Amino acid sequence: MKRTEKQLAKGFSLVEVLLAMALGLIVVAAGVAMFKSATNVTQTAFSRSDMQQNARGALAIITRDLSQASIGIPQAGIALPSGAGAGQALAACGGPKNQCFLTNGAYPNNLLAPVVPFDAQGANKTDAITVVYIDNSWPVSNKTVTTMDPAGVNVTVDTNTYDVNGNAAPAPTGRAYNDPVYGSKVGDLMMIFNTNGYAVAAVTGVGGGGVLNLTPGDPVNMNQPGAAAGNVKALGYGPCVPPSPPPNPQICPTTTAARINVVTYFIQINPGPDGVLGTADDYPVLMRQVNAQNAIPLTEYASTMNINYDIFNSTTNTYQAALDGTLVLNASEIRKINITLTLQSSGTGTARNETYTLSTSVAPRDLSFQNRY
């Protein structure tokens, strides 16, 4: 039977349309799934690459500091204020709010050692570490103290200008104690020493004529003129003795000042986009603080930093590896520092489950050096 013209003009039936749509949706869904999978793979690759780069960069900076541990300072460390009238000196304090960043930042044995382990810090109970070495950029490694206040609340250093090699040179080549870039500033830590010993003090003000103020109340509590020992006052200062008999030269006891770097690495929890600490969008940040200056972020989403130590006891001739920081009783026995840094993805929710862990070891040369001859 012949179909009519009206019958020949008919389109797809409803069943056919629904079937075609279903097949189309299946094809589109498959395409979307493949695209999403490819996008996720790309994002994961970028995230891993970013975490790897950040971890390597952070460890490179930490390694640089640790490799300089003990340079220019006593290998056994420097005794901090002690005795009658002394308070507890602290690590990793300062910045605009004068806050302290470590939960147990008191120096073990009240000693500023070249390497100071700090364990179980912050909300995530991760490790922290302080490393100490001389700062050769101030304008030379040390400067002569020309006068010292009897109470130990300020010292006067020579106002000469020196080049980077410590040779006298006029400005602008030579740097003075108050050089705008390399000179003293509030929050610096100074190592002051003479034949009577060593002391550490925090700069609270920089005056003219070489004056460095070391007044009490500094964030790290180093300036304690009322302490019985371990402060600048205890060093004493002797003026030049006239020649006796002439023409012998004057006898001038030398007191010297040098700026040191007391660098602390720790992980801090920062509030997320909601600005409220203690909520789900908080994220960890690896921080670096020098002396009593502002703490500077090194890398974000650093979830943990685990540090252990290899030590050698020369008296008993024993070597112990991978010790927890609480078991290191003598920093001068440290021979290797092992650091493991774990970063997490910067994504939200389950995306933060992506982590990257990198480890390294450092053997500070000056910390282990011994003159046996």
**Tens-digit pLDDT string for the chain (373 aa):** 555 555 555 666 777 778 888 888 888 888 888 877 766 665 666 667 788 888 899 999 999 999 999 999 998 899 999 999 889 999 999 977 888 999 889 999 899 999 999 988 876 789 999 999 999 888 777 788 888 888 899 999 988 888 877 788 887 778 889 998 889 999 999 999 988 899 999 999 999 999 999 999 999 999 999 999 999 999 987 666 666 666 666 556 688 899 999 999 999 998 888 888 888 889 999 999 999 999 999 999 999 999 999 999 878 889 999 999 989 988 889 999 999 999 988 765 445 578 889 999 999 876 765 555 4
With contact defined as beta carbons under 8 Å apart, do 261 and 135 qualify?
A: yes
Residue 312 three-state SS = strand
Rounded Cα distance, 346 and 282, in Å: 11
Q: What is the pTM of this model?
A: 0.84
Kindly give the pairing relationship between strand 283-290 and strand 295-300.
antiparallel
Residue with tokens 């390497």: 115
Tokens read off for 290: 């020098």
Q: Where are the domains of the chain?
A: 49-368
162 backbone dihedrals φ, ψ, rounded to 5°:
-135, 150
With contact defined as beta carbons under 8 Å apart, do 265 and 290 qualify?
A: no
Angle at 339 between CA 338 and CA 343, to 5 degrees: 160
Q: How far is CA 84 from CA 197, 231, 236, in A?
A: 19, 12, 18
With contact defined as beta carbons under 8 Å apart, do 190 and 157 qualify?
A: no
Longest dimension (CA), the chain: 145
Neighbour tally for 228: CB within 10 Å: 14
